[in-house]
C-alpha cells in the first residue's frame, strides 16, 4: 500500500478592510489602492453614506466592493458593516487618506500573534494641519475620562484606524449613530476585559480639496454625552452614588442653619428651606437605591454580553 503523508494545512484568515465614506471622492481612490497594495489578500469594502459626489464611482474603479447605507452617520455605517460582512479580521479605516496603509500588516500581525481583539492605530504626527490643537486637547480630555471610569486601555481613544477580531465585531452592540462610536469601541473592550493593544502609525493632513466632516465642539459634546450615558449604563452604582452625594451635601448645607435656628429658638422660621433640605435628602436616598438596583441589572447585562462574545468562533 502507498503511504500517504498527512499534512496539516492552516487556513489563511479572511481579512476585510472597512472604509466608511461620505463625500470622499478626492481621497477614497488612494485609500482603496493603498490598502489593496498593503493587504493584497484582503477584500476592501467601501460603504457610502449618501455622498453627493462621485465617491462610489471612484471607489469601484479603484477595486473596492461598494455598498450603501442610507441612515446618516458613521455609527450607522459601522453597524451595517459589522452586520453584513463576514471575516476573521476587520481593518477599519477612515476614507480621508490620513492614515498609513503600510501600518495595517503590523497591526494585523500584532492582533494575530497576541490574540488581541482590538488593536488601535496610535496617531503620531508632527504636522499641525493633520492634528489640530483643539482635536489633540479634546482627545486627551475625553480619553482621560474614559480611562478614569473604565480603566486604562489606549492613549488615542478617538483614532479611526483599528483592527478587530471576529469576536469583537459580532458581539459589538453599535448603539451610536455618529463619531461617538469610537468611544463605544473602547468601552466595549474594557467592560468585557478583552485583550487589546495599540501600534504607532503615521498620521498626515487631508489632501488639498478634501474637507473634514468633524466639528470640534459639537462632536466633542456628543462624545462627552456618550461617555456620561455609558457610565450610567455600565457603572450605574458609581453614577447614582455621585448624584446622591451632591444631593445629600446640598440638603445638609440647606438644613444645618434650619436645625441651628430650631435648637436656639424651638421654632422653624424658614419652613420652605427645611422642606427643600428634606426633599434633597429623600432624593439622595432614592438615587442611591436606584444605583443599587441598576447595578444588579448591569451585572446581568455584562454576563449576557460576555456570553455573546464567547459564543463567537475565535479568529484564526
pLDDT digits (tens, 9 = 90+) for 170-206: 999 988 888 888 889 999 999 999 999 999 999 888 7
Last residue in a domain, options 185, 207, 234? 234
Listed residue (250, 285, 181, 209) closest to 29, CA to CA: 209
Task: pLDDT band for 239, please (50, 70, 90 cuts).
Answer: very high
224 shares a domain with 97: yes
Strand 15-21 to 43-48 pairing: parallel
Last residue in a domain, options 234, 266, 296? 234
276 CB burial (10 A radius; 0-12, 13-18, 19+): middle
CATH number for 227: 3.90.550.10
* First-to-last C-alpha distance (Å) of the chain: 36
Quick check: helix, strand or coil at residue 136?
Answer: helix
168 shares a domain with 23: yes
Long-range pairs for 297-305: beta carbons < 8 A, 24 or more residues apart: 297/236, 298/233, 298/234, 298/235, 298/236, 302/191, 302/192, 302/234, 305/171, 305/173, 305/191, 305/192
The whole-angstrom separation of Cα 48 and Cα 76 is 11
The tally of domains found in the chain comes to: 2
Give the list of residues 6+ apart from residue 316 with CB closer than 8 angstroms, or none: 10, 11, 12, 13, 88
41 inside domain: yes
42 CB burial (10 A radius; 0-12, 13-18, 19+): buried
221 shares a domain with 102: yes
**Is the pLDDT at 2 greater than 70, yes or no?**
no
The whole-angstrom separation of Cα 146 and Cα 214 is 20
254 shares a domain with 191: no
The confidence score (pLDDT) of residue 135 equals: 65
Query: Locate cell 459589522: which residue?
Result: 82
144 shares a domain with 78: yes
9 inside domain: no
Give the list of residues 6+ apart from residue 1 with CB closer than 8 angstroms, or none: none
Quick check: helix, strand or coil at residue 201?
Answer: strand
1 inside domain: no
Q: Considering only 34-48, 141-155, 219-233, which range has the smallest mean pLDDT?
A: 141-155
Last residue in a domain, options 234, 256, 290? 234
Quick check: helix, strand or coil at residue 315?
Answer: coil
Residue 255 belongs to what domain range?
Answer: 236-310
96 compared with 1, residue with greater pLDDT = 96
The whole-angstrom separation of Cα 112 and Cα 165 is 9
55 shares a domain with 189: yes
Q: What is the rounded radius of gyration, in angstroms, for the C-alpha atoms of the chain?
A: 25
**Is the pLDDT at 4 greater than 50, yes or no?**
no
Q: Extract the C-alpha cell encoding 302.
A: 455584562
6 inside domain: no
93 shares a domain with 122: yes
193 shares a domain with 131: yes
288 inside domain: yes
**Is the pLDDT at 254 greater than 80, yes or no?**
yes
The confidence score (pLDDT) of residue 267 equals: 84
Task: pLDDT band for 8, please (50, 70, 90 cuts).
Answer: very low
The per-residue pLDDT of the chain, averaged, comes to 88
72 inside domain: yes
279 shares a domain with 219: no
The confidence score (pLDDT) of residue 155 equals: 82
Listed residue (210, 100, 92, 112) closest to 160, CA to CA: 92
- 193: left (phi > 0), else alpha (psi -120 to 50), else beta? left
279 shares a domain with 223: no
Number of other residues whose CB lies within 10 A of the CB of residue 186: 27
199 shares a domain with 132: yes
87 inside domain: yes
285 shares a domain with 220: no
10 inside domain: no
Given 3-state DSSP classes, what are the helix, strand and coil percentages for the chain, each rounded to the nearest 5?
A: 55, 15, 35
Amino acid at each position: 500500500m502507498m503511504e500517504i503523508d498527512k499534512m496539516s494545512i492552516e487556513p489563511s484568515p479572511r481579512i476585510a478592510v472597512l472604509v466608511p465614506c461620505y463625500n470622499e471622492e478626492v481621497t477614497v481612490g488612494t485609500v482603496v489602492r493603498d490598502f489593496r497594495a498593503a493587504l493584497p489578500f484582503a477584500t476592501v469594502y467601501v460603504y457610502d453614506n449618501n455622498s453627493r459626489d462621485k465617491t462610489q464611482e471612484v471607489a469601484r474603479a479603484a477595486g473596492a466592493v461598494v455598498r450603501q447605507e442610507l441612515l446618516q452617520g458613521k455609527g450607522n455605517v459601522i453597524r451595517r458593516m459589522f452586520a453584513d460582512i463576514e471575516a476573521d479580521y476587520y481593518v477599519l479605516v477612515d476614507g480621508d487618506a490620513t492614515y498609513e496603509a503600510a501600518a495595517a500588516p503590523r497591526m494585523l500581525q500584532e492582533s494575530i500573534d497576541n490574540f488581541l481583539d482590538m488593536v488601535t492605530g496610535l496617531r503620531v504626527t508632527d504636522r499641525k494641519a493633520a492634528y489640530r490643537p483643539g482635536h489633540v486637547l479634546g482627545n486627551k480630555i475625553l480619553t482621560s475620562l474614559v480611562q478614569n471610569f473604565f480603566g486604562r486601555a489606549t492613549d488615542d481613544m478617538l483614532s479611526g484606524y483599528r483592527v478587530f477580531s471576529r469576536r469583537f465585531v459580532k458581539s459589538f452592540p453599535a448603539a451610536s449613530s455618529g463619531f461617538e462610536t469610537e468611544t463605544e469601541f473602547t468601552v466595549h473592550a474594557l467592560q468585557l476585559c478583552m485583550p487589546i493593544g495599540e501600534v504607532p502609525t503615521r498620521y498626515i493632513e487631508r489632501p488639498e480639496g478634501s474637507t473634514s466632516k468633524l466639528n470640534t465642539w459639537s462632536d466633542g459634546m456628543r462624545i462627552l454625552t456618550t461617555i456620561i450615558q455609558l457610565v450610567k449604563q455600565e457603572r450605574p452604582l458609581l453614577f447614582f452614588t455621585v448624584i446622591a452625594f451632591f444631593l445629600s451635601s446640598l440638603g445638609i448645607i440647606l438644613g444645618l442653619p434650619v436645625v441651628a435656628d430650631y435648637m436656639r429658638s424651638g421654632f422653624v422660621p424658614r419652613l420652605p428651606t427645611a422642606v427643600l433640605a428634606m426633599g434633597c435628602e429623600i432624593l439622595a436616598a432614592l438615587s442611591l437605591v436606584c444605583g443599587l438596583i441598576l447595578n444588579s441589572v448591569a451585572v446581568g447585562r455584562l454576563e449576557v454580553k460576555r456570553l455573546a462574545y464567547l459564543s463567537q468562533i475565535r479568529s484564526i
